[in-house]
Amino acid sequence: MDLENLKENFNDSYDEDLFDLEEEIDDNNQISKDDWIKISQDEYIDSLFENVFDPSAKMINLQENNSPTKIFELFFPDRFFNTISEQTNLYFLQFKNANPNYLKENQSSHLHYWQDLSIEKAKSFIGIIFLMGINSRDCLEDHWSNDELLNSIISKYISRSNFFLYWRFLHISDNSKNSKKIGKVEEFSKHLIQNWNNLYDPGKFLALDETTIGFKGNSEFIQYNKKKPTRYGIKLFSLADSKTSYMLNFILYQGRSHPKKEGLGLVDTVVRDLLTNYKNSNHCVFMDSYYTSPNLFHDLFKNGLECVGTVQNNRRAISENMKRSEPENGQTIFYKNKEIQYTTWKSRKRVNVLSTLINTEVKEIDYFDRKEKMISKKNKPLIISHYSKFMKGVDTHNQISINYSFSTHHRKWWRCVFIRMLEMNLVNSYIYYKTFIGGSELSHKEYRIIIIKYLLSFFNWKKSTVNTLIDTKDFFIIGKKLRCKLCYKNKIRKESYFQCKFCSKNICMECQINHTLNEHIG
């Protein structure tokens, strides 16, 4: 399917359609556009934030758990790998029962040599996925290429056959119990988010934004937004700590069928769900114009949350006078309605910010004048300066996650989400270690390498039975399927792609070990 057809198919999921969605709140609680009053610049210059608090660790003795691997185990406990191993083995059995004749009809299939994925194997396999993020290739098969310019260190840890065998059946949920559209990742993501919040108490400032996971496969979740760097993909609504960029919560967007709470629109539903655990907590949430509206901020303020966000002038409660007021370059205009303040300021272009923090303080800043090509002075509202400072939590987390992310062209949408969840969990563990253990000297890459070595130590794929049977060094795969020489002697017709390196005879997988022992070793 070409890109133009793909655009047409996903027009109903285009992000711009969602900007018109406004939450439906009882009329008695709405902000009226007629109640805005203009306020002077010196009217409210008290302290902008009260009771500011820093992030803190929970349920952990930091003196005993002070190494990268110990912190990693908090975020990747054994039950995490147990879920992967159990569901992967279950999916293999389900496939085998659903296709009883598959193994008989495919005698040379690697599935004949399947061995259950243990917790140790699961740890090592996830370690290999992390290692592929550092040693990335455009095509997964290049890791095992015969060309020394293309192959990588991955081939020293696991054979190509082993990797693709377990990658094919990798699962994190029971297919027979997945009744929801997002059932493949829903339960796993809930446990992940719960563990994040059990280990970490966020600071005062939170950032609410979206994350796009690149994906062009067949899924009703896929979004198209020409303004984003990743134009096609699956969207996550995300909440992170503004100071450390620690991810706190995320929600997978399910397109137009995304569930909404009764009487509420999509935006209001998503924001409420993300902030469920932070009601009456005195946190301050920063968000962009996609989410911001006067009525939503009014509702969140009643639930003990402070809010700051850029706002579009086409929102219902924005008056005509506010829309028409055009500040001069460097000028600021303030309006107030109940507990909400509207700030409009012009630098190179106009910026509108809505907040439940009433503050009209303006500070002089340095900026580069492009016309004069020199540093100049300009007045900037303190509330907009704080928005620029604390809105980057989710974006910073995303940048860290994709630096060494395992990237390939996935055919299944849930694998893209699963890989991103792995990355978010690993980045959270790094942020946790850096924040509370004082590991500022350890870079993200160095931290990942320590974790990868730790995971690979649990199981050696090269010495496993599966590797010996499937990818033995004495045989290689040829492009043409020929009759097995040993089976031919016994008057059995069987064909194989495997050819012996010593005698150039085609030998089927069932005869390979006997042939090697009798003809070349014994």
For 314-337, what is each residue's pLDDT tens digit?
Answer: 888 888 888 888 888 888 999 998
One domain, residues 386 and 487: no
Backbone angles phi, psi at 374, to 5 degrees: -155, 165
One domain, residues 481 and 458: no
- What's the whole-number mean pLDDT along residues 377-396? 91
Please state which of the ranges 131-145, 354-368, 486-500 shows the lowest mean pLDDT. 486-500
Q: 466 pLDDT exceeds 50?
A: no
Res. 21 pLDDT band, cuts 50 70 90: very low
Q: 491 pLDDT exceeds 70?
A: yes
Is 226 within the bounds of a domain? no
Is 194 within the bounds of a domain? no
Region label for 289, one of left (φ > 0), alpha (ψ between -120 and 50) or beta (otherwise): alpha
Please state which of the ranges 104-113, 296-305, 310-319 shows the lowest mean pLDDT. 104-113
Query: What's the pLDDT at 516?
Result: 55
Number of domains in the chain: 3
- Encode pLDDT of 42-72 as tens digits: 777 666 776 777 888 886 777 677 889 999 9
Please state which of the ranges 121-135, 173-187, 420-434, 504-518 shows the lowest mean pLDDT. 504-518
Query: How far is the C-alpha of 237 from the C-alpha of 123, rounded, in Å?
Result: 29
Residue 461: closest CA among 93, 134, 155, 172: 155
User: Is 267 in contact with 296 (CB distance < 8 Å)?
Assistant: yes
Is 276 within the bounds of a domain? no
Residue 39 three-state SS: strand
One domain, residues 86 and 153: yes
User: Is 22 in contact with 315 (CB distance < 8 Å)?
Assistant: yes
One domain, residues 55 and 72: no
Q: Which of 439, 463, 487 is the last residue of a domain?
A: 463
Residue owning tokens 């455009």: 138
Query: How far is the C-alpha of 423 from the C-alpha of 430, rounded, in Å?
Result: 11
Residue 93 three-state SS: helix
Query: What's the pLDDT at 16?
Result: 38
One domain, residues 411 and 487: no
Q: 455 pLDDT exceeds 90?
A: yes
Query: How far is the C-alpha of 45 from the C-alpha of 356, rounded, in Å?
Result: 14
Q: 155 pLDDT exceeds 50?
A: yes
Query: What's the pLDDT at 27?
Result: 47
One domain, residues 80 and 164: yes
List, in order, residues 6 or more apart from 110 with CB less than 8 Å away. Answer: 161, 165, 470
Q: 307 pLDDT exceeds 90?
A: yes
One domain, residues 441 and 423: yes
Query: What's the pLDDT at 18?
Result: 37
One domain, residues 424 and 379: no
Is 360 within the bounds of a domain? yes
| Extended strands (E) in 434-492 | 475-483
| Cα four-point dihedral sign 59, 64, 68, 69 | negative
Query: How far is the C-alpha of 89 from the C-alpha of 114, rounded, in Å?
Result: 10
Query: What's the pLDDT at 291?
Result: 93
**Alpha helical stretches, state H, 289-331:** 294-302, 320-324
Is 141 within the bounds of a domain? yes
Query: How far is the C-alpha of 455 from the C-alpha of 445, rounded, in Å?
Result: 15
First to last CA, the chain: 55
407-409-414 Cα angle (round to 5): 85
Q: What's the residue count for the chain?
A: 522
Is 51 within the bounds of a domain? yes
Query: How far is the C-alpha of 461 from the C-alpha of 459, rounded, in Å?
Result: 6
Residue 14 three-state SS: coil
User: Is 132 in contact with 143 (CB distance < 8 Å)?
Assistant: yes
Q: Which of 365, 390, 415 is the last residue of a domain?
A: 390
Is 329 within the bounds of a domain? yes
Query: pTM for this one?
Result: 0.81
Domain of residue 488: give its range: 476-521
Q: 520 pLDDT exceeds 90?
A: no
Top-ranked range on mean pLDDT: pick from 40-44, 357-361, 446-450, 503-507 = 446-450
Query: How far is the C-alpha of 169 from the C-alpha of 415, rounded, in Å?
Result: 11
DSSP secondary structure, 158-200, as one string = S-HHHHHHHHHH--SS-GGG--STTHHHHHHHHHHHHHHHHHE
Is 121 within the bounds of a domain? yes
